Amino acid sequence: MTYDRLVCANCASPVSEGRCRVCRAVRQQMLEEQGQGPLAGMSPAMLIALMVVLLTALALLAHQTA
């Protein structure tokens, strides 16, 4: 989930605007979490699609060598 769609329970404004200290803290925390790995920002659908592409490529490679 991205913080641009979250609404702050403290000030009822979008978290991405950072109007209060709670918004700014959540925005900072989510920005830090996004940078934890190369696949951290990918959606589950994108991860599944990537796995399908990799498995298809592996199957084609195995078929060519057999």
- The encoded tokens of residue 32 equal 């830090």
Q: How confident is the model at residue 35 (pLDDT cuts 50, 70, 90)?
A: low
Residues in a beta bridge with 14: 7
Percent of the chain that is helix, strand, coil (3-state, to 5): 65, 5, 35
**Would you list the domain boundaries of the chain?**
1-34, 38-66
Q: What is the pLDDT of residue 9?
A: 86
Higher pLDDT, 36 or 16: 16
Residue 7 has pLDDT above 70, yes or no: yes
Q: What is the pLDDT of residue 2?
A: 60
- Residue 14's Cβ-count burial label (10 Å; 0-12, 13-18, 19+) is middle
What are the tens digits of pLDDT across the range 43-61?
889 999 999 999 999 999 9
Model pTM above 0.85: no
